[in-house]
Amino acid sequence: MNIKQAQHVFSRRADFYYKGTWLQLIRLPTLSGTVRSVLAGTGLAASVGVIRFDLFIVYLASALMIQIAINIINDYDDFHHGQESFKW
């Protein structure tokens, strides 16, 4: 990044007004794909053997946290590179 690009990025941040909520930031509709994947894997595992529900809960929570983190990082990266504008 050269100096002109850096100045443009920093000047644009002064105009940043995000009026959304954390629920919008984590994108709740995208989490259904994560839950379905975990449930599908658990269903396949149930057809083979016994399911440990403690591991199921840990796996589900981990998958949801990873998806939420990726959504937040994606929004930050899009804003940082000027691909999205949050002036609502």
**Rounded CA separation 68/77 (Å):** 14
Look at residue 88 in the predicted model and tell me its pLDDT: 47
pLDDT digit string (tens) for 2-29? 555 544 555 555 555 555 677 888 888 8
Alpha helices in the chain (DSSP H): 3-13, 22-26, 31-48, 53-80
User: pTM surpassing 0.95?
Assistant: no
pLDDT digit string (tens) for 29-75? 899 999 999 999 999 999 999 999 999 999 999 999 999 999 888 88
